[in-house]
Structure 1
Amino acid sequence: MKLYDIVVVGAGPAGMMAAIRAGQLGKNVMLIEKNDTIGEKLKITGSSRCNITNTASLDTFMGKFGKKGAFFRSAFAALSNRRLMSFFEVKGLKFKIEESGRVFPVTDKSRSVIKVLKEYLSQSRVKINYNTRLVRIKKKKDYFSLDLGNDNYMATKKVILATGGISYPATGSTGDGFEVAQKVGHKVTPLRPGIVPLKVVETYVKELQGISIENARLTFKYGKRKLVSDTGNMIFTHFGISGPLVLDLSSQIVQILEKNETVDLFIDLKPEMTDQELQKKIMDEFEKRSKTEFKNLMKLFMPNRMIPIVAELLDIDPKKKVNQIKKGERNGVVNLLKAFPLTVTGSLSIEKAMVTCGGVSRKEIDPQTMESKVVNGIYFAGEIIDFCAPSGGYNLQEAFSTGYLAGEMAANSLDN
């Protein structure tokens, strides 16, 4: 049986980068992939545009990973966002920077990124076995025996697990790596959806489906306790809410919902105005257009399809002239514009989430090398590791950086 220096399991961004780096350092590398092509999930990342990284500083990057951020310091230092961009730029791929520092290839096509990765894999002499699934890792005296099922085995000195999470299982992310890690003694923290649309109780959101709100402020509360609040773009769906801001905050909300049945959400449609400023603006419009019907005047303050719902919530006849609107009703309009209420009950399933939160416990991984503390010679990279980060290029940077570090450290360990 041929003995490889390093076998990398999973040809996503983390696995490809790990294989490339180890190959660059002169190691005999085998990359195994359960699909018949590489980068299946990468193809659909960022709506197939591939938001590869973010221009944020190192401290900001780590902050996006919450309390877990410091764990990735060595990985981000080994392959920073700037170095990652240069990695692709030397192959002719150019990037553009969009809102909030999000970095995309100028082609707006993920396949441009995959093409460069394929070039690097070839140059690094990485061998690839497609349609190959790892079932179990067996530790031998001087090597690992990889059980590939159907009496097929592979031998290697080092193993890098980069099998991803369980989101978008059609791309091959079915949680195989978690099972393999558990079989060798690793703990896997609870898995939950990340970067995922949220569901609400209120059925009237069906009437709002497709309405986008720019610069809305979302405030999530449990009882009187404010959980999280931020401003950005959102969209109503037939089951609840989605959009960039919702997706970014969703991981925190999903975690809270594990302990509570519901979370209260208040949408501020006019965050640029105080309650008093909005009250004055509405009063001024009421005076100028005193004989206008309520439903028509409200078009100045909210999307058309929201008006019947607001009118029903306030028990106001939509055809009522605004000069007949009482002070209490006017205050009610202000309150709804500043705090439109919804009750969040959950999210779409983890299979429909963009990423998987949770994974192999970071306590059992050396952050300076990505090597297992449980079994020497096994390394981890990418989404298989326990973490959760918002959209914006942070998750892909984590994948590439941990893959780079794991590949480098696994290769260097063979020289010692």
Structure 2
Amino acid sequence: MKTYDLIVIGSGAAGMIAGIKAARAGKSVLLLEQQEKLGPKLKATGGGRCNLTNTLDNIDFMNSFGRNGRFMMEAINSFDYKDLMNFFKEIGVETHIPDGFRVFPITHSSSTIIKALEDELIRVGVEVRCNTKAETLLYEDEVIVGVETLDEKFLSPNVVVATGGLGYPMLGANGDGFTFAKKLGHKVTDLYPAMLPLISKEKWVASCKADTIAKAELRIDLPKAKKLKAVGDLIFTSKGVRGPVVLDFSREITPYLEKYGEVPILINMIRGKNEEEVRAHINSEIKSNPDSTILENISSLVPQSVANELCILCEVDTSKKFKDINGQNRDKLIKYLVATPLTIIDHVGFKQAMITRGGISLKEINPKTMQSKIIKGLYFCGEVVDLDGPCGGYNLQWSFSSGNLAGQLLDF
């Protein structure tokens, strides 16, 4: 049995940078990856374009993760987006910020990132074994001693678990990290799919699937969730909704969906305008074109397909003029423009979930080192822990930052 200073399980962003950092410090490192190639999920990040991080300051970045965000203070302060960009520059990858916020490799290809990380792993002497699945974590007297696969045992006083969550099982996600943690006495919070399309009860959405709603505002129409909202581009599908705002907000919806079976949401598709502003807008349209129909009036606010479906929902004759519509129906139409009701009844599951909401309890991990408070020498980083953020490079930055911290083996 061979002995190493560190064994890393998983070759995502967190696992690879943990291995690199430890090897740069002179540690002998073994990296185990169950798939045929390194970085399988990293390859799919950002649709293959690999949005590495973003330019938010550290405080705002942490706040974007919600109430658990402050846990990452040590990790982010030690390795923020500037450090990440410098790290990639060191290993031959130039990055840029085309929209002033999101950071990409200039190639806009995740393959560039994976190749650079793989080359650096080799350069610093990390032993990489693909097609090798860790089956069991070995420990004695609450101290980690190694890892066992189907064929052999590897000894080490340090093990980094960077196995990711449950999203995209075709890329190797199987929840092994959660299983390891539970067997060693760690608590794993409830797990939900996040960053995924949602399915609605209403069928009218299928008539609007060719249109994108810019800067739509989503809210959950439940008493305990009134303060939750998200803003971004929304796309109707044949079965529901998707788009950046849906991917961001799905992490809030899926837990309620499991609890209640369906979740009512309200969508403002008119850039946050209220009822009074809508009336003023329509009156202005009428003044400009006195012969315009209500469909033409509403289509100046939302795409015509959406305008038509809202009129049908509110029993409004699209060929009539605004002033000729029944007052009650006219008021309902304006209300629906400001807050279109939609009922979420399902989602596409972990098979298309980009991330997992929930994970290993943060209370049992030292935020200054990422080491377990239960088992000495055991480290967790990346998506396997109970931290998840919105779209836009947040989760990948967290993976790199936490992997960087874990790979320093500060308690070794």
**Same fold, TM-score > 0.5, yes or no:** yes
How far is 1:134 from its partner?
A: 0.7
Change (3 A) 1:290 1:58: same
Q: What's the counterpart of residue 164 of structure 2?
A: 164
How far is 1:321 from its partner?
A: 4.3
Could you tell me which amino acid in structure 1 is paired with residue 254 of structure 2?
Answer: V
Contact 1:35 1:131 in 2 (8 A): yes
How many equivalent pairs are there?
A: 411
Contact 2:169 2:350 in 1 (8 A): no
Deviations 1:73-116 (Å, cap 9, x if unpaired)? 11112211110110001233222224472211121111111122
Aligned counterparts, 1:78-97, within 5 A: 78-97=78-97
Contact 2:213 2:269 in 1 (8 A): yes
Q: What's the counterpart of residue 203 of structure 1?
A: 203
Q: State the distance in 2 between where 1:118 and 1:224 align.
A: 46
Normalising by structure 1, report the TM-score: 0.93
Contact 2:220 2:266 in 1 (8 A): yes
Between 336-345 and 52-61, report the one with greater CA deviation: 336-345
Change (3 A) 1:98 1:263: farther
Q: What's the counterpart of residue 110 of structure 1?
A: 110
Contact 1:33 1:129 in 2 (8 A): yes
Q: Secondary structure at the match of 1:241?
A: strand
Q: State the distance in 1 between where 2:375 and 2:357 align.
A: 23
How far is 1:359 from its partner?
A: 1.4
Contact 2:18 2:404 in 1 (8 A): yes
Normalising by structure 2, report the TM-score: 0.94
Q: What's the counterpart of residue 215 of structure 2?
A: 215
Q: State the distance in 2 between where 1:100 and 1:224 align.
A: 35
Q: State the distance in 1 between where 2:15 and 2:92 align.
A: 22
Matched, 1:7 2:7: yes
Runs of 4+ off more than 4 Å: 140-143
Deviations 1:299-330 (Å, cap 9, x if unpaired)? 32221212331221121222334553344443
Contact 1:159 1:379 in 2 (8 A): yes
Give the alignment's Cα RMSD to 1 decimal. Answer: 2.0
Q: What's the counterpart of residue 388 of structure 1?
A: 388
Deviations 1:29-48 (Å, cap 9, x if unpaired)? 01010011101100010111
Change (3 A) 1:404 1:371: same
Change (3 A) 1:225 1:365: closer
Aligned counterparts, 1:234-383, within 5 A: 234-271=234-271, 273-322=273-322, 324-383=324-383
Matched, 1:42 2:42: yes
Q: State the distance in 2 between where 1:376 and 1:225 align.
A: 39
Q: State the distance in 1 between where 2:263 and 2:369 align.
A: 39
Q: State the distance in 2 between where 1:384 and 1:361 align.
A: 10
Contact 2:262 2:344 in 1 (8 A): yes
Aligned counterparts, 1:31-180, within 5 A: 31-99=31-99, 101-140=101-140, 144-149=145-150, 151-180=151-180
Deviations 1:261-292 (Å, cap 9, x if unpaired)? 33322222223544223212212333543434
Could you tell me which amino acid in structure 2 is paired with residue 263 of structure 1?
Answer: V
Change (3 A) 1:100 1:361: farther
Q: Secondary structure at the match of 1:233?
A: strand
Contact 1:263 1:343 in 2 (8 A): yes
Could you tell me which amino acid in structure 2 is paired with residue 221 of structure 1?
Answer: D
Contact 1:100 1:392 in 2 (8 A): no
How far is 1:391 from its partner?
A: 1.2
Between 389-398 and 255-264, report the one with greater CA deviation: 255-264
Contact 2:105 2:112 in 1 (8 A): yes
Could you tell me which amino acid in structure 1 is paired with residue 145 of structure 2?
Answer: F
Q: Secondary structure at the match of 1:139?
A: strand
Between 53-62 and 114-123, report the one with greater CA deviation: 114-123
Q: State the distance in 2 between where 1:90 and 1:76 align.
A: 19
Change (3 A) 1:224 1:8: closer
How far is 1:182 from its partner?
A: 1.7
How far is 1:224 from its partner?
A: 8.8
- What percent of counterpart residues are identical? 37
Give ranges in structure 2 of 5+ residues lacking alignment.
none
Could you tell me which amino acid in structure 2 is paired with residue 4 of structure 1?
Answer: Y
Could you tell me which amino acid in structure 2 is paired with residue 199 of structure 1?
Answer: I
Q: State the distance in 2 between where 1:245 and 1:321 align.
A: 33
Contact 1:287 1:323 in 2 (8 A): no
Q: Secondary structure at the match of 2:5?
A: strand
Matched, 1:18 2:18: yes
Contact 2:282 2:298 in 1 (8 A): no
Q: State the distance in 1 between where 2:120 and 2:153 align.
A: 27
Q: State the distance in 2 between where 1:298 and 1:80 align.
A: 45
Change (3 A) 1:395 1:101: same
Between 28-37 and 97-106, report the one with greater CA deviation: 97-106
Deviations 1:339-388 (Å, cap 9, x if unpaired)? 11111234321221110111111111111111111111111111111122
Contact 1:9 1:15 in 2 (8 A): yes
Could you tell me which amino acid in structure 1 is paired with residue 7 of structure 2?
Answer: V
Between 10-19 and 108-117, report the one with greater CA deviation: 108-117
Could you tell me which amino acid in structure 2 is paired with residue 164 of structure 1?
Answer: G
Give ranges in structure 1 of 5+ residues lacking alignment.
none
Q: State the distance in 2 between where 1:54 and 1:182 align.
A: 33
Between 52-61 and 319-328, report the one with greater CA deviation: 319-328
How far is 1:225 from its partner?
A: 6.0
Change (3 A) 1:64 1:351: same
Q: Secondary structure at the match of 2:125?
A: coil
Between 73-82 and 249-258, report the one with greater CA deviation: 249-258
